Amino acid sequence: MSRPAGRAQDQPKGNTLTVCFLGEEHLLGEADDLRFGRSGDLLVDDNPFMHRLVGRFVHREGVWWLQNIGTKIRLELQDVDAGTVLEAAPGQQVPVVATSFVVRFTAGPTSYELDGQRSGGGILPDEHGEITGTATIEFGAVPLSPEQHLLIVALYESRLRLGWFESNVTIADRLGWTTNKFNRKLDVVCDKLSRAGVPGLKGKSGGLVEGRRETLLNHALQAGLVGPHDLDLLRVFTDS
């Protein structure tokens, strides 16, 4: 959970994130997270057009992330120094790489801004140019991009909600992806883990479609790659 900035002994060490809104300041250490909206750790406003939880800041594998955990509101993350802007649609997350940043969103007729500061160094892309991070796997250790992580979370949510996996077509549609994109991402994740030593993820496509999703999710759960805390990324089924 978040903590307000205060006494020296309260100051977290390592990579930190400071988030401010109308004079209210939250200083986060690597073990903390911060949820904001109409409720949560940071109460932005009682605007009825605002989700109870709009977004979340969380630290994973040396990277701070801004997660959009609402259902309709889009988040903008601007690098104050570079002027670049990243956008997170509902159910998506973006890395916080800027030293100084602003988060903007609109609820009904009202727009809001949260200011932030990040300490620590930058982050490096993997060999495919994607941002690494989101979880640590002790066996089958591979870097995952945010979208690869989101795919596994979607599989987890589908089985948790129904007791079985929905079709790739259905899950892809829920994520706002094409079926081809979903299948490509699934192939890449399975290939990465297979090359890292996880069995049961590669073979002829005909007989492994269901089995490899089960194997993938079971490994992800065992390794701590996904869990209940990640379900906020897929809040499209819950009331805002």
Residue 193, domain member (yes or no): yes
Residue 179, domain member (yes or no): yes
Residue 16, domain member (yes or no): yes
Lowest mean pLDDT, pick from 45-49, 88-92, 185-189: 88-92
Question: Domain residues for 48?
Answer: 8-118
Residue 214, domain member (yes or no): yes
Q: Which residue has the tokens 């079985």?
A: 164
In tens, the pLDDT along 97-134 reads: 899 999 999 999 999 999 999 987 655 444 444 444 44
Residue 134, domain member (yes or no): no
Q: What proportions of the chain, in percent to the nearest 5, are helix, strand and coil?
A: 30, 25, 45
Residues 114 and 21 in one domain: yes
Residue 72, domain member (yes or no): yes
**CATH number, domain at 43?**
2.60.200.20
Please say which residue of 118, 136, 165 terminates a domain.
Answer: 118
Q: With H, G, I as helix, E, B as strand and everything else as coil, classify residue 5.
A: coil
Residues 177 and 99 in one domain: no
Average pLDDT on 86-95 reads: 83
The first and second tokens of residue 168, run together, are 């790739």
Residues 159 and 233 in one domain: yes
Instruction: Report the pLDDT value the prediction gives residue 128, as an integer from 0 to 100.
Output: 41
In tens, the pLDDT along 162-191 reads: 888 999 999 999 898 999 999 999 999 988
Instruction: Report the pLDDT value the prediction gives residue 106, as an integer from 0 to 100.
Output: 94
Count of the separate structural domains present in the chain: 2
Residues 76 and 156 in one domain: no
Q: With H, G, I as helix, E, B as strand and everything else as coil, classify residue 63.
A: strand
> How far apart (Å, rounded) are the C-alpha atoms in residues 120 and 217?
32
- Please choose, from the candidates 64, 58, 68, the residue with its C-alpha nearest in 3D space to the C-alpha of residue 105: 68
Residue 130, domain member (yes or no): no
Largest Cα–Cα separation, the chain:
60
Residues 33 and 96 in one domain: yes
Torsion from C-alpha of 127, 128, 130, 132, nearest 10 degrees: -40
